[in-house]
Amino acid sequence: MNELLLQYLWKNALFNPADLRTNEREPVVVVHPGIWNTNSGPDFAEARIKIGSEVWVGSVELHLRTSDWHRHRHGTDPSYQNIILHVVYEDDEPLAGTTFPTLELKPHLDPSILDRYYKLMNLGQTIPCAAQLKDIPDILWITWMDRLLAERWENRLDEWELLWIQAGKDWRTLLYYRLAANFGFHVNRVAFLDLALSLPLSILSRHRNNLLQTEALLFGQAGMLDGKTSDAYMLELEKEYHFLRRKYQLVPVNAHRWKFMRLRPPNFPTLRIAQFAMLVHKSLDLFARMMEVKDAASVLPLLDVQASSYWDDHYRFGEKTKESQVKHLGQEAAVNIIINTVAPMQYLYSRLQGRASLHEESLNLLQSLRPERNAIIREWKSLGVAVDNAAHSQALIQLFNHYCTPKSCLNCSIGNRLIRKGGATSEK
């Protein structure tokens, strides 16, 4: 037994309510277990408990043993002055100096529920319930996947909202920041975001129509124009950047932050910056257009960009390749940007602007995309889980990372089902 499990059992009333009695033998009826508090203070607030003939309203504290009350020094903490009931797994000693009764829960717990929980926790599989997934009703999968996707967006958007405030609540600037971070993908995400933060969109927009100046600003602020080259293209960029840096008093980021190691050349940050420059150059009112897209077919053309011609035979400055090839962003990268930037941006915009219809469009946008291909999704597919679109894959990534890996089955709808009722079911 652990306190988290005990709190879960209390919250969901997974105990036999018959003949509940305090340590002083007064009958107990749990009218409402209270609101689970995951922060400091008592475990449950606003509980309604009938003790004897009176209904008490207040806080409930749970411990594995009665003696934990003094061991945790709750008696001297003002936060615990409104306790109406002390619920314990085992009542190991009388609790002196308190005015509230104690209820021992152990005799009222269903051993089969505990057994199912312990089996899930002790399985050595990455996905603890892998063998029982086939028994989960379809309706539970559908509702849980919807909640997981919303949770994934909410977790991400809490951080984005802070960035939006930092951007002066300007939506175009926020999109600029998030697109830049996405162009860095996993390895160079932070460096790319810092590049965008160092270069105000207002400055970049003034020079958007001049591709060379747009590239000069981005490569210069990336710290990649060091003045030590004989490359003609790079010299042109340096000349433009030298003038623009002084004009706008810009401070570049540290060039050492960019990572090339263990990246395939198409993912080199030099190439991604060149493609991002082209996106800025060709884009007109990109935010408004991206907020109105309803499916992949309408947004992919907006992301159909290629690096300028210098990069046809380069991946890095001054290192010419044997073969020449136009360096398009690529559809897989574009889909990644839709999943991780465009759809979440639509969701955040709809939430803060109160536009419910746009909320639906952000979901429809993900549903119009094929699912991601990665190790997590392959794992789910190997277990027979249907992954039909990007909304499904995003939800399953959230489930794997935040519930399966840390074995947070008590907080998972599927884990809840299996712990409470077991695996066998005929519901579909």
Span 370-422, pLDDT tens digits:
999 999 999 999 999 999 999 999 999 999 999 999 999 999 999 999 998 86
* Residues 211 and 351 grouped into a single domain: yes
Contact between 195 and 223 under an 8 Å Cβ cutoff? The reply is no
Alpha helices in 257-389 (DSSP H): 269-282, 286-292, 296-299, 331-337, 343-353, 356-367, 375-382
Reported as a pLDDT band with limits 50, 70 and 90, residue 363 is: confident
Q: Assess whether 236 and 256 both reside in one domain.
A: yes
Mean pLDDT value of segment 65-80: 92
Same-domain pairing of 48 and 82 = yes
Q: Is residue 265 part of a domain?
A: yes
Among candidates 213, 233, 227, 214, which has minimal Cα distance to 255?
227
pLDDT at 310 over 70: yes
Is the pLDDT score of 424 beyond 60?
no
| Residue 182 CB coordination number (10 Å) | 21
- Note whether residue 22 is domain-resident: yes
Determine the pLDDT at residue 16. Answer: 94
The dihedral built from the CA positions of residue 60, 64, 66 and 68, taken in this order, carries a sign that is negative
**pLDDT per residue over 244-273, tens digit each?**
999 999 999 999 999 999 899 999 999 999
Same domain (yes/no): 241, 361:
yes
State residue 69's pLDDT score: 93
The predicted model gives 328-348 an average pLDDT of 92
Residues 239 and 351 in one domain: yes
336 in the same domain as 210: yes
- Say yes or no: 81 and 191 in one domain: no
Residues contacting residue 333 through CB under 8 Å, at least 6 positions apart: 185
Q: Which 3 state secondary structure label does DSSP give 316? A: strand
- b or e along 73-110 (b: 16 or more beta carbons within 10 Å of the residue's beta carbon)? ebeeeeebeebbbbbbbbbeeebeeeebbbbbbeebbe
Instruction: Determine, yes or no, domain membership for 428.
Output: no
Whether 224 and 358 map to the same domain: the answer is yes
Contact 86, 98 (CB under 8 A): yes
Predicted confidence (pLDDT) per residue in 278-301, tens digit: 999 998 889 988 988 888 899 999
For the stretch 120-158, pLDDT in tens is 888 878 899 998 998 899 999 999 999 999 899 888 888
Element (H, E) at 113: helix 111-122
Distance CA 378, CA 376 (A): 5
pLDDT at 423: 56
Amino acid at 199: L
pLDDT at 13 over 70: yes
> Domain tally for the chain?
3
- What is the spatial distance between Cα 24 and Cα 177, in angstroms, rounded to a whole number? 62
Q: What is the mean pLDDT of the chain?
A: 92
Q: How many residues does the chain have?
A: 428
Q: Give residue 48's pLDDT.
A: 96
* Domain-ending residue, one of 67, 91, 109: 109
pLDDT digits (tens, 9 = 90+) for 24-54: 999 999 999 999 998 889 999 999 999 999 9
Distance of alpha carbon 36 from alpha carbon 79, whole angstroms = 15
Neighbours of 46 (CB within 10 A): 13
Within-domain flag for 253: yes
66 lies in which domain range? 3-109
Q: Say if CB 199 and CB 222 are below 8 A apart.
A: no
